[in-house]
Structure 1
Amino acid sequence: MTSSLGSADLVVVGAGIVGLAHAVDAVARGLSVAVVERDGHATGASVRNFGHGCFTAQSGEALGYALEARTAWLKLAKEAGFWLRDAGTVLVARADDEMAVLAELQAERGDQVVLLDRAGVTARVPAGPEAVGGAWFPLDVRVDAREAVHAIAAWLAGQGVRFHWGTTAHTIEPGLVGTSRGRITAGRVVVAVGHDVDRHFPGLAEANGVRRCVLHMLRVADPHRREIEPAVLTGFSLLRYDGFAACPSLPAVRGRLAAESAELVGIGMNLMFTQRPDGDLTIGDTHAYATTVDPFNADALDRHVLAETARLLGVPRLDVRERWRGVYASAERPFLNAAPMPGVRVVAVTSGIGMTTALGLAPRVLDDLHD
């Protein structure tokens, strides 16, 4: 006989940041919430990332979600008691065409972008001799990705959210979620399982072109042993974020990097880093895409990340503490918000900006779901 795990106004499948964002907004609406998570705690993209609220580099719909998420992050950090640094991002420019892109973005965004000369950059972050200037994005924030989602889950549990850890969702239908531990009666359901959308709704994943994006990331000792308050991006980042796409000088940057660093562009390099609370640096990253990911790590990708980060920092080498793979859902459109059946939404951030946008996306999903 199948046991009952009770009922909830909203059942969320998945306890990563996208799932938790829906739980946070549902609690604010006074709804009862149950969260079903197959692992004993979040282990996916939400804990493997840079902990970077990269708000300024977004555009369009994503920018709107990001700015709303910024407010939510600041509020949650106080309420849930996790580490957050409201110190912005510095993009280090190492060529004049990169400075031109930043000047064009500043003309569009005003005080969201503060242009810096070389001295202004090095006063904020360590940078090697190639740095010619850059920009500071004051709205961006940093959290410790390894702590934040766990702290949010603990806070939500204190607000009455029921977590079913180590529990697999087997069936999802209107008004009911069947799990490995029993059934939950659901007023509404949000499925937020990231790149594993195809495990539950394979046809939906195929129709939306959802694949897995695999990243090579590392934790290294900070060679300069200094506090680095902002996140750090580079010219490679200009190619990765939609906020720069309309800048007239971007094609010049793209062409130069393709000519000078074809191999790095080919592996999807987004040269960036953030500093952890313990002083170490999270560095990365590379991008490769597949529906089914091979389990083998190419050491050459790690070596590229290490060499380019050392060059950025102006040091000969870096000491590695940890290596890992990030994995997130990727598709042509940045967000998946599908309704495969009444009262059920399948939601994923399919652009690698879940930490940046999920807390802004979730209220829009629930507005629609509860109309």
Structure 2
Amino acid sequence: MAGVTPNSEPADMIVVGAGIVGLAHAVEAVARGLSVTVVERDARAVGASVRNFGHACITAQEGEALAYARRARDTWLRMAREAGVGVRECGTVVVARAAEEAAALEELAADRGAEEVRLLSPAQVTATVPVAAEGLHGGALLPLDLRVDQRRAAGAIADWLATRPGVRMLWSTPVLGVEVGLVRTGRGELHGRHVVVCAGHDLDRLLPGVADEAGVQRCLLQMLQVRVPGVRVEPAVLTGSSMLRYPALAGTDGARALRRRWTTERPEMLAAVVNHMLTQEPGGDLVVGDTHAYARTLDPWSQEALDELLLAETRALLGRDDLAVVRRWQGVYASAADPFLRAPVAPGVTAVAVTSGIGMTTAFGLAPAVLDTL
């Protein structure tokens, strides 16, 4: 691609970034009959959109995030039909291995009802997911949650968009600046009536003032791909540490009691901000994670002790010692106090980011809300 050849007419919308948040805005624009140009610096999505669990964690959200997640669920199912994205309606099993964890699930079930939270006995948990029975207090099924083939979803959606009338996908094209009606790239200028910047955790590279005002920093995750012979896990699996992360559970009395106990009994879990959970890839390997560290500029070093902490938790959860690590990686996403950044940059130019770890869960619900304001 030697250069960008402008269209004779500006696009209705230019989307900067072909991660899941940018793609969600392009999908919504197409649904509204708009012409769209998507410009991406890499040859394919390689960031948070492919380094995650492939878990649309709907029920454990609250407030605005819950509304976006519920709306996004319908779009994910549409993308499964129209774009061939691998999406499974298999829900999430939350495993309770302590009395406080069981209490948290009971509180959530009382709040949401049986359609969203189905309490499980220990026997029902082990019949659904292959976790160790020893010390199990029960669990819950969150049936509305989805599993997405995260390694292929962004590519499938981008390929589908490329077949839609009025859509241009520009890859390996770095964006140098944005202004009213104009996006300057390393290959030339693009013109559009609206510009939506979906640069994720690299927002500060393009619009540092916007990132500064929103308090955006980077969240670094350590994650693993693990092979366990003969294990089959259909739903996502969350644990007690997840109850300290997801807002609908973290706000329960049970989760608060668990955090107090872990302050003295398991401080290493809190210090590493562990959300120990797992999902299974189509090939059978488990995606296991994750730990969290926050900074504007992150240290480049992985910590073996954090991987060992995750592996120890996984051995205890599954009651298995025969875990083989296949891959290790770091995930990075944007983090800020407000989980959704929507910042006007100039007339017709808006910066958008999911500044928490729920981009896959909420992006398809956030995008319609953003387009409603343009």
Superposition TM-score, scaled by structure 2 size: 0.96
Preserved CA contact (<8 Å) 1:113 1:138:
yes
Deviations 1:120-179 (A, max 9, x none): 101110112232210000000101111011000000001132111000111100101111
User: How much has 1:3 moved relative to structure 2?
Assistant: 6.0
Give me the whole-angstrom Cα distance separating, in 1, the residues matched to 2:331 and 2:152: 16
Q: 2:297 aligns with which of 289, 292, 306?
A: 292
Is 1:366 aligned to residue 371 of structure 2? Answer: yes
Give me the whole-angstrom Cα distance separating, in 1, the residues matched to 2:294 and 2:135: 31
Give me the whole-angstrom Cα distance separating, in 2, the residues matched to 1:121 and 1:196: 40
Report the residue type matching 1:49 in the other structure: N
Match of 1:198 in 2: 204
Give me the whole-angstrom Cα distance separating, in 2, the residues matched to 1:277 and 1:249: 34
Report the residue type matching 2:303 in the other structure: A
Preserved CA contact (<8 Å) 1:94 1:131:
yes
Preserved CA contact (<8 Å) 1:5 1:183:
yes
Preserved CA contact (<8 Å) 1:216 1:326:
yes
Corresponding residue SS for 2:135: coil
Q: 1:265 aligns with which of 266, 270, 294?
A: 270
Q: 1:143 aligns with which of 142, 148, 169?
A: 148
Is 1:90 aligned to residue 79 of structure 2? Answer: no
Match of 2:128 in 1: 124
User: How much has 1:257 moved relative to structure 2?
Assistant: 2.1
Q: Structure 2 matches for 1:158-173, cutoff 5 A?
A: 158-160=163-165, 161-173=167-179
Give me the whole-angstrom Cα distance separating, in 2, the residues matched to 1:73 and 1:337: 22
Is 1:108 aligned to residue 111 of structure 2? Answer: yes
Match of 1:311 in 2: 316
Is 1:34 aligned to residue 37 of structure 2? Answer: yes
Mark the CA change 1:3 to 1:156 in structure 2 (over 3 Å): closer, same or farther.
closer
Preserved CA contact (<8 Å) 1:307 1:317:
no
Match of 1:275 in 2: 280
Is 1:326 aligned to residue 344 of structure 2? Answer: no
Match of 2:193 in 1: 187
Is 1:5 aligned to residue 10 of structure 2? Answer: no
Is 1:21 aligned to residue 24 of structure 2? Answer: yes
Q: Structure 2 matches for 1:189-228, cutoff 5 A?
A: 189-223=195-229, 225-228=230-233
Q: 1:45 aligns with which of 44, 48, 59?
A: 48
Give me the whole-angstrom Cα distance separating, in 2, the residues matched to 1:24 and 1:221: 35
Is 1:69 aligned to residue 72 of structure 2? Answer: yes
Report the residue type matching 1:120 in the other structure: Q
User: How much has 1:4 moved relative to structure 2?
Assistant: 4.2
User: How much has 1:222 moved relative to structure 2?
Assistant: 2.5
User: How much has 1:248 moved relative to structure 2?
Assistant: 2.4
Deviations 1:72-125 (A, max 9, x none): 101111110121111000000000111111000001100200000101101110
Preserved CA contact (<8 Å) 1:12 1:190:
yes
Unaligned regions of 5+ residues in structure 2, if any? none
Give me the whole-angstrom Cα distance separating, in 2, the residues matched to 1:91 and 1:320: 24
Corresponding residue SS for 1:102: helix
Deviations 1:313-343 (A, max 9, x none): 1112410111100000000111101001110
Deviations 1:280-304 (A, max 9, x none): 1000000000100111111111111
Preserved CA contact (<8 Å) 1:90 1:231:
yes
User: How much has 1:181 moved relative to structure 2?
Assistant: 0.9
Report the residue type matching 1:258 in the other structure: T
User: How much has 1:204 moved relative to structure 2?
Assistant: 1.2
Corresponding residue SS for 1:184: strand
Report the residue type matching 1:76 in the other structure: M
Give me the whole-angstrom Cα distance separating, in 2, the residues matched to 1:293 and 1:245: 27
Give me the whole-angstrom Cα distance separating, in 2, the residues matched to 1:339 and 1:40: 28
Give me the whole-angstrom Cα distance separating, in 2, the residues matched to 1:270 and 1:3: 43
Report which stretch shifted further, 98-107 or 121-130.
121-130
Q: 1:54 aligns with which of 29, 54, 57?
A: 57
Preserved CA contact (<8 Å) 2:4 2:190:
no
Is 1:336 aligned to residue 341 of structure 2? Answer: yes
Identity of aligned residues (%): 57
User: How much has 1:228 moved relative to structure 2?
Assistant: 1.4
Give me the whole-angstrom Cα distance separating, in 2, the residues matched to 1:342 and 1:248: 45
Match of 2:255 in 1: 250
Would you say how many aligned residue pairs link Structure 1 and Structure 2? 367
Give me the whole-angstrom Cα distance separating, in 2, the residues matched to 1:5 and 1:353: 34
User: How much has 1:259 moved relative to structure 2?
Assistant: 2.0
Corresponding residue SS for 1:148: helix
Deviations 1:171-214 (A, max 9, x none): 10010111111111111000001000101111111111100000
